[in-house]
Amino acid sequence: MIFIPTGENLGFKIHKRGEKMASELIHIIRQISADRGVDSEILFQAIESAMLAAAIKNMPTAKELRVELDRKTGDVHLYTQKTIVHNVVDDLNEVDRKTARKLTEQNVDYDMVIEVEIPAQELGRIAAQNVKQIVMQKIREAQRNNIFEEYKHRQGHIITGIVQRFDKEGVVLDVEHTEAILPFREIPKSHGYRQGEHLRCLCMEVKSFSKGPQVTLSRNHPDLLRELFEQEVPEIADGVVNIESVAREAGDRSKIAVSCADKNVDPVGACVGMKGSRVQVVVRELKGEKVDIVPWSDDPAQFIAHSLSPAKIIRVKIDPPNRRAIVVVDEDQLSLAIGKHGQNARLASKLTGWNLDIITEGEEFPQEQAIDSDMGEDIPQNNETSGPEAEVREEKEV
């Protein structure tokens, strides 16, 4: 029988003595399993594979070698198959019938094949080195698989990391158990980061490679805004308030539409928080990106009017078959409704999913079938919440 004592450095040695040494092996395997997050069964199988490889190398002519590691005692047993013969010529592969009957305690006959345990002390240093190398390899493989599975299930969710360095592909972040890459294409143009800075990013993609998993992050994706609000607003996390749609031009301005089935809960107010406390956390994380929070409505005309906040809308004329709407505003509200470089209208169109034409009162409507929705005086004054780093516009429910 063979016993393998070991230490934390995995310096395995073959030892002829002692149950104490075998129990040490079990203890070390359990410790490594806990410290490295590796299933102990993987380590047991790795040791068996290493010992088997050493046995095959030392006894190449042996038939059907098998190694078994006792999970409770730590004892390692080596077995081979032997054929029962009249006269033993090859001790490694043959056994006489008298010995076979004694080993098996059964009535065996010639030409039968039995499995016999054989001494394995002669494996020596070769087995020890094999155990160390294969166990370390299995640990690395198991850790890579664990990391891949962990981050695979975190795709589409926020990961917090620390900026570690900058390379030609982007920003490398130190995240839990591994590194992640934030490509330059996924960074808002107005953003700049410093080494050691903590960032919350959206986990976009996880790929498995031989060197380990590659985790790709994003700070541009609209879902980052959605996830940030879910983290900061308990009503969203609990499902009381729903984020119906998100439109974002990363680094500059975004709009989100929120709803709530409970009439006693103000979805916009829940997202803004007391004195803007909740939304300002999101704004600071996004480095001053403006965020408009508007109430969602199943009435397209009202939803479109809300989405163009902070402009005051007179009426909305919709063309459902073409998903097109004509929005009428006062002349002094035209530039506000369109926004700088058309940004407000562009975001409103993304948020609602409608193509918007914004005109002033008195301009001629295009000749097309449409439904008039006169918003008239129903559009209230828009409240504004301003922070030291960004402007947050809030529109109350119509």
Q: Per-residue pLDDT tens for 120-148?
A: 665 555 566 667 777 777 778 888 888 88
How confident is the model over 171-200, as a mean pLDDT?
A: 93
């294969």: which residue's tokens?
134
| CATH class of the 160-217 domain in this structure | mainly beta
> How confident is the model at residue 119, as a pLDDT?
72
pLDDT in tens, 295-316: 999 999 999 999 999 999 999 9
How confident is the model over 104-131, as a mean pLDDT?
A: 73
For residue 264, name the pLDDT band (cuts at 50, 70, 90).
very high
The region of weakest confidence among 102-111, 266-275, 278-287, 312-321 is 102-111
Q: CATH 2.40.50.140: which residues of the chain?
A: 160-217
pLDDT in tens, 8-22: 333 344 444 445 555
pLDDT in tens, 210-222: 788 899 999 999 9
Assigned token pair, 325: 């709407």
> How confident is the model at residue 212, as a pLDDT?
81
**Residue 380 and residue 395: Cα distance in Å, rounded?**
8
Q: Which fold has domain 222-394?
A: GMP Synthetase; Chain A, domain 3 (3.30.300)
C-alpha count within 13 angstroms, C-beta hemisphere, residue 19: 2
| Residue of 215, 173, 214 lying closest to 195 (CA atoms) | 173
Q: Which fold has domain 19-150?
A: N Utilization Substance Protein A; Chain:P; domain 4 (3.30.1480)
> How confident is the model at residue 307, as a pLDDT?
96
Residue 323: pLDDT above 90? yes
| Average pLDDT over all residues of the chain | 82
Q: CATH 3.30.300.20: which residues of the chain?
A: 222-394
Residue 327: pLDDT above 80? yes
Q: CATH 3.30.1480.10: which residues of the chain?
A: 19-150
Chain centroid, CA 10 distance in Å: 31
Residue 389: pLDDT above 70? no
pTM given for the model: 0.68
> How confident is the model at residue 391, as a pLDDT?
37
Cβ contacts of 173-176, under 8 Å, gap ≥ 24: 173/199, 173/201, 173/217, 175/215
| Residue of 230, 103, 83 lying closest to 156 (CA atoms) | 230
